[in-house]
Structure 1
Amino acid sequence: MPVVDIPGSKSITARALFLAAAADGVTTLRRPLRSDDTEGFAEGLAALGHRVGRTPDAWQVDGCPQGPPAREADVYCRDGATTARFLPTLAAAGHGTYRFDASPQMRRRPMLPLTRALRDLGVDLRHERAEGHHPLTVRAAGVEGGEVVLDAGQSSQYLTALLLLGPLTRKGLRIRVTDLVSVPYVEITIAMMRAFGVEVVRETVLGEDVFAVPPGGYRATSYAVEPDASTASYFFAAAAVTPGGEVTVPGLGEGALQGDLAFVDVLRRMGAEVSVRPDGTTVRGTGSLRGLTVNMRDISDTMPTLAAIAPFASGPVRIEDVANTRVKECDRLDACAENLRRLGADVRTGPDWIEIHPGASAAAGAEIKSYGDHRIVMSFAVAGLRVPGISFDDPGCVRKTFPGFHEAFAAVRAGLPG
């Protein structure tokens, strides 16, 4: 029975780096994810003047509650959406001029709802080229705080960025949210802020979510990063599509912060056997996968994983309410549809849905088009358990979140039946 040591959560590592940089004192992060995204975030903090000490198992970050220590910085955010959205927000709490840019892929990804909200709070933020996209410059003089309205229907990261900023403002923040996607990621943020000494109050007012964040700053701490649930989905799916296959992920079980662990409930509905325990989660393939219709709005990062195994179900798989996946590293709905058709599957898509019918008949040698998206590559690696000869045009893009993915997946594959 393969036991898979999944690297630390990307989402938790990014939030922890922000919180550590904003806290009063030195924070130790244990088992952080070391990948292109998180290394880029750490380098960005260093450019902003924070000390980030790194050992193989832990990072130490010197916090500065008054905002970045540097008064001037040029920060390159690479491909990281959390880096590109969180660090300009952190910089707004400081005093200085901070310029941010990102890769061509990240430049295409939107952030206008966040930058509008920051401007509404009095932040001098200017986009150099396309409005709502990198590159941008923040001329910071601290943030007074107050009430702001935010549309987080494209990405919950916009709300997370403002929540994280709240304790660094002079008056605190009251955020009225008109639309919100990926709610579990916001719950991760609120739980982590609590661990750093800040309590967020959430209420519903006239049908809208309102988040109240007090001023006062964060408290440094020692924080352990749990395994990445989105990454675990590929290994759980590998077990589900393999009759008699079984995969266990230790350290990711009852009480996990990440909502993406709910992906195993989808696999259970399809017919896999699932055991979620305090010390880990196990998925076992029964030899049968049923079709289903599922709303994945709150766990949309696992949509490609389900799409990749859908052709092997006994009935159609319809995934709904995932419009936000069209503005990720690529348009993931179209990317999944294109690659499933390369495998011979019958696929239909709409603005926020994809429907996949049983059957995959690709000849050996089908090449998966990655679109530079790590999740497309890792998802279709699972399809490769049932379709021979799958290859990728850019297998190395997995370095964004899991540089050792191909080696880890090959090891699991070798331990599965058949």
Structure 2
Amino acid sequence: MTVIDIPGSKSVTARALFLAAAARGTTTLLRPLVSDDTEGFAQGLKALGYEVRQEPGAWHIEGRPEGPARRSADVYCRDGATTARFLPTLAAAGHGTFRFDASPQMRRRPLGPLSTALRALGVDLRHEENEGHHPLTVTARGVKGGALTLDAGQSSQYLTALLMLGPLTAEGLSVTVTDLVSEPYVEITLAMMRAFGARVTREGRTYTVAPTGYTGARYPVEPDASTAGYFFAAAALEPGRTVTVPGLGTGALQGDLAFVDVLRRMGADVEITEAATTVRGTGTLRGLTVNMRDISDTMPTLAALAPFADGPVRIEDVANTRVKECDRLDACAENLRRLGITVTTGPDWIEIRPGTPAGTGVEIATHGDHRIVMSFAVTGLRTPGITFDDPGCVRKTFPDFHRAFRVFDAFHPTP
């Protein structure tokens, strides 16, 4: 059995940084993810005037419920979608003029529904070049609150940003959602808000947040379930290979742990206890049709595993993956075809036929997307010769991924 120490969750770390900055008192985050995305978020907070002390294994944040300490700031959000969407929302609750910009990759990603919602709450927000995209400037005078309607069909992060803003408003916030993707990520948000003292309820598609503010906490960050998925997929690929990830068990916040249910349907043995999750390969990988709307970050992982199934793998309801770091549906299809695999795609689906990937001399086009690299590393376990045009882009969420994944190099299947 291989025990894998997965770094902290990116989603949990980003939310915790927002909540800590907004809270009364000092918050200590235990085992936060240290990666380009989370470092970018922490640097963004520092640019706004928040005090963030980073030590190995623990980050300490001095909260400012009144908002950023600086009255003007220029914040670079790098590639991070959580940074680029959460920090302007946090700044809106303060007072001052704050400009936000991001990498060319992040500039392409949409922000429009969140901008529209913030404007509906009276926030003075201006996009400098392309409407609904970075760069943007927020002229903040606090947020009164109120009721609004939101389309979160492209990204649940729009809803998360607004919900986390709610306790900082003068009168509270009510958000009615017309469409919502990746709903388990919103459940992470609600659980974490409550851990920091917020009062938030849901009735149907309407979320109501009281203007309670937040209280600092000592908050442990659980391992990243999306990252664990690459190691679980590697286990499912070979009979006798067993992977255990401690810290991800029955009480885990992250919906992406449901990826192991997909592996179970395909034939892997899965055990989830209070303390850990274990996946063991059985030698069976069945084809299937699966809706991955709620766990779409694991779509590339399944796509990269799919050629080794005994029948077609069809992944449905993942249109939102087209507006991630890259168009992940097209990127997966492109790279599988490079490997000689038959693939068809539609607006929100991909179907992959079984086959034997031919890796020698094939370079995976990563499009600067960390998840494309880590997913096709799974394919590479059975396909010698695969290379990547930008293997280092894993620094976004898991800088040490390539070294960690080499644990499978010495694996010998059980006779």
- TM superposition score category, shorter chain reference: over 0.9
Q: Are the structure 2 counterparts of residues 363 and 329 from structure 1 closer, same or farther at C-alpha, using a change threshold of 3 Å? A: closer
What's the secondary structure of 1:359's corresponding residue?
A: coil
Do structure 1's residue 144 and structure 2's residue 157 form an aligned pair? no
Structure 1 stretches (4+) deviating beyond 4 angstroms? none
Do structure 1's residue 306 and structure 2's residue 302 form an aligned pair? yes
Listed one character per residue, the Cα deviations across residues 287-343 of structure 1 (whole Å, up to 9, x for unaligned) are: 110000000000000000000000000000000000000000000000000001111
In the alignment, the residues of structure 1 paired with residue 363 and residue 6 of structure 2 have an alpha-carbon distance, to the nearest angstrom, of 26
In the alignment, the residues of structure 2 paired with residue 32 and residue 415 of structure 1 have an alpha-carbon distance, to the nearest angstrom, of 30
Which of 210, 213, 218 is the aligned partner of 1:214? 210
**Which residue matches 1:71?**
71
What's the secondary structure of 2:187's corresponding residue?
A: helix
CA RMSD, Structure 1 to Structure 2 (Å): 0.8
**Which residue matches 2:348?**
352
What's the secondary structure of 2:179's corresponding residue?
A: strand
Matches within 5 A, 1:6-405: 6-204=6-204, 209-405=205-401
Listed one character per residue, the Cα deviations across residues 178-226 of structure 1 (whole Å, up to 9, x for unaligned) are: 100000000000000010001211011xxxx000000020011100000
In the alignment, the residues of structure 1 paired with residue 176 and residue 356 of structure 2 have an alpha-carbon distance, to the nearest angstrom, of 46
Check conservation: 1:246, 1:416, Cα contact below 8 A: no
In the alignment, the residues of structure 2 paired with residue 181 and residue 32 of structure 1 have an alpha-carbon distance, to the nearest angstrom, of 25
Which of 399, 402, 408 is the aligned partner of 1:406? 402
In structure 1, list runs of 5 or more residues that go unmatched: none
In the alignment, the residues of structure 1 paired with residue 21 and residue 241 of structure 2 have an alpha-carbon distance, to the nearest angstrom, of 43
In the alignment, the residues of structure 2 paired with residue 412 and residue 54 of structure 1 have an alpha-carbon distance, to the nearest angstrom, of 32
Check conservation: 2:199, 2:212, Cα contact below 8 A: no
Listed one character per residue, the Cα deviations across residues 127-185 of structure 1 (whole Å, up to 9, x for unaligned) are: 00000000000000000000011100000000000000000000000001110000000
What's the secondary structure of 2:264's corresponding residue?
A: helix
Q: Are the structure 2 counterparts of residues 267 and 416 from structure 1 closer, same or farther at C-alpha, using a change threshold of 3 Å? A: farther
Q: Are the structure 2 counterparts of residues 30 and 416 from structure 1 closer, same or farther at C-alpha, using a change threshold of 3 Å? A: farther
- How many aligned positions are there? 414
Amino acid at match of 1:336: C
User: Normalising to structure 1: TM-score of the pair?
Assistant: 0.98
Percent identity between matched residues is 76
What's the secondary structure of 2:170's corresponding residue?
A: coil
In structure 2, list runs of 5 or more residues that go unmatched: none
Amino acid at match of 1:264: V
What's the secondary structure of 1:129's corresponding residue?
A: coil
Check conservation: 1:2, 1:246, Cα contact below 8 A: yes
In the alignment, the residues of structure 2 paired with residue 2 and residue 248 of structure 1 have an alpha-carbon distance, to the nearest angstrom, of 6
What's the secondary structure of 2:2's corresponding residue?
A: coil
In the alignment, the residues of structure 2 paired with residue 327 and residue 112 of structure 1 have an alpha-carbon distance, to the nearest angstrom, of 13
In the alignment, the residues of structure 2 paired with residue 400 and residue 363 of structure 1 have an alpha-carbon distance, to the nearest angstrom, of 25
Q: How far apart are 1:361 and its partner, in Å? A: 3.5
In the alignment, the residues of structure 2 paired with residue 93 and residue 10 of structure 1 have an alpha-carbon distance, to the nearest angstrom, of 24
Q: How far apart are 1:386 and its partner, in Å? A: 1.1
In the alignment, the residues of structure 1 paired with residue 412 and residue 400 of structure 2 have an alpha-carbon distance, to the nearest angstrom, of 19
Q: How far apart are 1:411 and its partner, in Å? A: 1.8
